[in-house]
Amino acid sequence: MAGTVKFYIESKGYGFITNDETDKDIFVHATLHGKEIREGDKAEYAEEEGKKEIVAGQIQAV
Protein backbone atom coordinates (compact mmCIF):
# COMPACT_ATOMS: atom_id res chain seq x y z
CA MET A 1 0.00 0.00 0.00
CA ALA A 2 1.04 3.62 -0.48
CA GLY A 3 -0.03 6.75 1.34
CA THR A 4 0.96 10.04 2.90
CA VAL A 5 1.60 10.65 6.60
CA LYS A 6 -1.35 12.84 7.63
CA PHE A 7 0.01 13.60 11.09
CA TYR A 8 2.38 12.04 13.56
CA ILE A 9 2.87 12.80 17.24
CA GLU A 10 6.51 11.95 17.90
CA SER A 11 6.24 12.24 21.68
CA LYS A 12 3.45 9.64 21.70
CA GLY A 13 4.85 7.52 18.87
CA TYR A 14 1.73 7.29 16.71
CA GLY A 15 -0.19 8.97 13.92
CA PHE A 16 -2.14 8.30 10.73
CA ILE A 17 -1.29 7.61 7.10
CA THR A 18 -3.89 8.51 4.45
CA ASN A 19 -4.16 5.68 1.91
CA ASP A 20 -3.59 7.08 -1.61
CA GLU A 21 -6.22 4.81 -3.21
CA THR A 22 -9.04 4.79 -0.65
CA ASP A 23 -8.38 8.15 1.11
CA LYS A 24 -8.92 6.33 4.44
CA ASP A 25 -6.78 7.18 7.46
CA ILE A 26 -4.72 4.24 8.72
CA PHE A 27 -3.27 4.15 12.25
CA VAL A 28 0.52 3.82 12.47
CA HIS A 29 2.62 3.29 15.59
CA ALA A 30 6.40 3.73 15.76
CA THR A 31 6.94 0.28 17.28
CA LEU A 32 5.06 -1.33 14.41
CA HIS A 33 6.61 0.63 11.58
CA GLY A 34 10.21 0.75 12.76
CA LYS A 35 11.21 3.79 10.68
CA GLU A 36 11.33 7.53 11.22
CA ILE A 37 7.91 9.01 10.45
CA ARG A 38 7.24 12.67 9.56
CA GLU A 39 4.11 14.51 8.48
CA GLY A 40 3.84 14.84 4.71
CA ASP A 41 6.18 11.90 3.97
CA LYS A 42 5.16 9.29 1.42
CA ALA A 43 4.91 5.84 2.99
CA GLU A 44 4.87 2.27 1.70
CA TYR A 45 3.17 -0.04 4.18
CA ALA A 46 1.09 -3.17 4.66
CA GLU A 47 -2.28 -3.16 6.39
CA GLU A 48 -3.52 -5.57 9.04
CA GLU A 49 -6.26 -5.67 11.63
CA GLY A 50 -5.17 -4.21 14.96
CA LYS A 51 -4.78 -6.64 17.83
CA LYS A 52 -4.11 -4.39 20.83
CA GLU A 53 -6.96 -2.74 22.72
CA ILE A 54 -6.40 0.75 21.31
CA VAL A 55 -6.71 -0.42 17.70
CA ALA A 56 -8.57 -3.71 18.06
CA GLY A 57 -10.68 -4.32 14.98
CA GLN A 58 -9.28 -1.27 13.16
CA ILE A 59 -6.85 -1.35 10.26
CA GLN A 60 -3.28 -0.34 11.08
CA ALA A 61 -0.09 0.11 9.08
CA VAL A 62 2.78 -2.29 9.61
* Chain segment 23-60, per-residue pLDDT in tens: 999 988 876 656 778 899 998 888 887 766 555 556 66
Looking at the predicted structure, is the pLDDT value of residue 18 above 90?
yes
Domain 2-44 has CATH 1.10.3720.10: no
pTM score, whole prediction: 0.77
Q: Is the dihedral of CA 53, 11, 32, 3 positive or negative?
A: positive
